[in-house]
Structure 1
Amino acid sequence: MTKHSIAGKTVLITGGAKNLGGQIARDLAAQRAKTIVIHYHSAASEADAKATLHAIQQTGAQAFAFQADLTQPGAVAGLFAKTLHAAGSLDIAINTVGKVLKKTIADTTDEEYDAMFAINTKVAYQFIREAGKHLNNNGKLLSIVTSLLGAYTPFYSTYAGAKAAVEHFTRAASKELGARGISVNAIGPGPMDTPFFYGQEEPEAVAYHKTAAALSSFSSTGLTEVGDIVPHVRFMVSDGWWMTGQTILVNGGYTTK
């Protein structure tokens, strides 16, 4: 076992009950992580969280789930405190939470702006801050952002704008934490075949996105699949540790910088 192996490590995943976060949790459990802690937002995700816990436990790993609205004061710090109390230490921290809004700038209200930056920017910053405080040396810190960071497009100003800040948070944190051997990166998936995507898109937009990537014809849906992202997450929090301070767009050629 090497210091960059997933085997024997403790992992925290926000938004880990379902969709991408849930599949990451299952995958890292299959890589023989010792303990996986998943966060879920509300009672609406509790059944999914329990199903993911059961799947993790079936691999022999320990599993814990904690509910929290991370936009509430102290919630992110509280999640790390609960994780450390339950697991004893922390090696890998992955933040998958996000909120999307498709709207023109003119039609976006102040309340919508505040909500978008609360979850996509402030929570992401607090997560990086707390991870930096509590990760073991040689730890791994990963944020999920969006491939819209490489797009020239209308309608997603608050979503892409809020996630854009995380790209710089990632660079800064990688410099600050590098002396401890901690790698810090971000992955930006393309439009993904999950309810997170379909809830904001009209049928015409869905049809466009299904053909927009260079590799769309090789996807069963034309979109990025959760299974396309999970192996990249696994790599970045293990053998890919030497890559740090980077935001990688994993999207089948949907956008590029």
Structure 2
Amino acid sequence: MPPQSSTQATTAKAALVTGASRGIGRAIALRLAADGYAVVVNYAGNAASADAVVAQIEANGGQAIAAQGDVADPADMQRVFELAQQTYGRLDAVVNSAGVMPYVPIAGGDLGEFDRVIHTNLRGSFIVLGLAAQHLSDGGRIVALSTSVIGKAFPNYGPYIASKAGVEGLVHVLANELRGRNITVNAVAPGPVGTELFFNGKTEEQIAHFVSLAPLERLGQPEEIASAVAFLTGPDGSWVNSQVLRVNGGYVF
């Protein structure tokens, strides 16, 4: 066995976060780094944003690398997982945050957009969760991002809701498939969160409507979703398994 690099030798724990160059994924990467994880910042296309996340983590005294890869491409993600192992010598947590959210009606809806959201959100989750199961050390943590909009059935959210309902199904099945390895598999389902992905394509009136839905009468912040992920990947989440944690300010179903 070749000797470990100095990076591997000094890494206490390591995490891979997909879709980590912006929005909720970025907040998760920063929070896990603050919690002591060395972080692999996965991104699809925006290298500058991913590098900025790495630079921020390093400026705060943490360890991070950027790794390009499309979550729906198995070869890309195999390479990303291997890079994580080669760089840090271990992998203790995987958070699949990458996703897209088009607005498509079911009647007469654009099949190309339907295929795109299923490709990234559901196929991507299937690939990432499967590779996580293969690469994680025993006792590791897997978290997938779902959505609280599943319970609302808003018009034009059909393909997005279908993709995320599938993600929740995968979480429950994988938790059972990993019996005996002490690996937890959970989902975090945010309500409306003030990110670029959320604001894109919405009018001021639509945004105000979403703000009014929860009893707290505001949008969530990416850091609040990251806190929930940190709970599931930290010591206090060790007995939580095969659950969907709906972090939504009281967004009633």
When normalised by structure 2's length, the TM-score is: 0.91
Structure 2 SS opposite 1:11: strand
- Aligned with 1:98: secondary structure? coil
Matched, 1:172 2:168: no
Q: Is the 8 A contact 2:95 2:144 kept in 1?
A: yes
Asked if the contact 1:76/1:123 (under 8 Å) is kept, the reply is no
Q: Is there any run of 5+ residues in structure 1 with no aligned partner, and where? A: 1-6, 217-221
5+ long unaligned stretches in structure 2: 1-10
Asked if the contact 1:192–1:224 (Cα under 8 Å) also holds between the matched residues in 2, the reply is yes
What CA deviation, in whole Å up to 9, does each residue of 1:4-36 have, x standing for no partner? xxx921010001122211111111111122x21
Identical amino acids, percent of aligned pairs: 32
- Counterpart of 2:6 in structure 1 is none
Letter in 2 for 1:236: L
Q: What's the TM-score, normalizing by structure 1?
A: 0.90
Amino acid at match of 1:171: H
Structure 1 contact 143–185 (Cα < 8 Å) conserved: yes
Q: How far did 1:157 drift?
A: 0.3
Map 1:152-231 to 2 at 5 A.
152-216=153-217, 222-231=218-227
2:238 match: secondary structure: helix
Q: Is this contact kept in 2: 1:148–1:255, CA < 8 A?
A: no
Comparing 13-22 and 164-173, the one that deviates more:
13-22
Moved over 4 A (4+): none
- Per the alignment, residue 237 of structure 1 pairs with 233
Counterpart-to-counterpart distance in 2, 1:152 and 1:50: 37
Q: Say whether the 8 Å CA contact 2:72–2:127 is kept in structure 1.
A: no
CA drift of 1:203 comes to: 2.5
SS at match of 2:86: helix
CA 1:131–1:228: 2 relative to 1, 3 Å: same
Q: Identify the match of residue 32 of structure 1 among 36, 40, 43.
A: 36
1:109-188 alignment, distance < 5 Å: 109-188=110-189
Equivalenced residue count is 242
Once superposed, what is the RMSD of the aligned Cα atoms? 1.5
Q: Which whole-Å CA distance do the structure 2 matches of 1:101 and 1:17 have between them?
A: 19
Match of 2:84, as an amino acid? T
Following superposition, the deviation at residue 178 of structure 1 comes to 3.0
Q: CA deviation at 1:73?
A: 4.6
Aligned to 1:255: 252
Q: Report deviation, 1:211.
A: 0.9
Distance across 2 between alignment mates of 1:158 and 1:183? 27
Q: CA deviation at 1:241?
A: 2.1
Instruction: Tell me how far apart the structure 2 counterparts of residues 149 and 244 of structure 1 sit (CA, whole Å).
Output: 20
How big is the shift at 1:98?
0.7
Matched, 1:101 2:97: no
- For residues 62 and 181 of structure 1, the distance between their equivalents in structure 2, rounded to whole angstroms, comes to 26
* Aligned partner (choices 12, 15, 21) of residue 11 of structure 1: 15
Quote the Cα distance in structure 1 between the aligned partners of 2:144 and 2:220.
17
Q: Are 2:78 and 1:77 aligned?
A: yes
Per-residue deviation at 1:161?
0.5
Structure 2 CA distance for aligned equivalents of residues 99 and 71 of structure 1: 12
Contact between 2:78 and 2:131, CA under 8 Å: does it hold in 1? yes
Against the structure 1 CA distance between its residues 92 and 73, is the aligned structure 2 distance closer, same or farther, given a 3 Å change threshold?
Answer: closer
CA distance in 2, matches of 1:70, 1:153: 26
